Structure formats: C-alpha cells, structure tokens
Amino acid sequence: MSPDRLVYMANQIGAFFRSQGPDKAVPGITEHLKKFWEPRMRRAIIAHPEAGGDGLAPEVRAAVEAL
C-alpha cells in the first residue's frame, strides 16, 4: 500500500476521533491503528514520520509516534 494511501486512511481515522478532543483523540487513533491495521501497514506508517511525515494531521502524527 502506498504511503499516500496510508496517510489518507490515518487522517480519516484522525478526523473521526478529532471531535473527542486531543486528550482522547491521540490514544483513540493509536488504539485503532493497533487493533485494526495489519503489522506491515503499521510499520509503513511508523516509518513515514522518519521520512518527513508529509500530510499527517498533528494528532495522527502524535498517535503514530506513540505506536
């Protein structure tokens, strides 16, 4: 799966959790990625910030860094 597609999907998850406020959004996004993304998808999104992290919403970036 392309990094652009993973970023899009992660940001969609972030948009869902954003309404809960940052204190709940970041842990919610992190938990969702742990539960529902397969290991290679998680590895790819974890590597994305190391390559610049273009396109990730701030709360999504924080959640990915928490993985």
Give this prediction's pTM.
0.90
Q: How far, CA to CA in Å, does 35 sit from each of 25, 38, 43, 66, 67?
A: 15, 8, 14, 14, 11
- Any idea what DSSP says for residue 20? T
Over residues 47-62, the pLDDT tens digits come to 998 888 889 999 999 9
What does residue 18 show for φ and ψ, rounded to 5 degrees? -55, -35
Look at residue 9 in the predicted model and tell me its pLDDT: 97
Over residues 1-41, the pLDDT tens digits come to 888 999 999 999 999 999 998 789 999 999 999 999 999 99
Look at residue 1 in the predicted model and tell me its pLDDT: 81
Helices 3-18 and 58-66: crossing angle in degrees, nearest 10, is: 100
Give the list of residues 6+ apart from residue 39 with CB closer than 8 angstroms, or none.
none
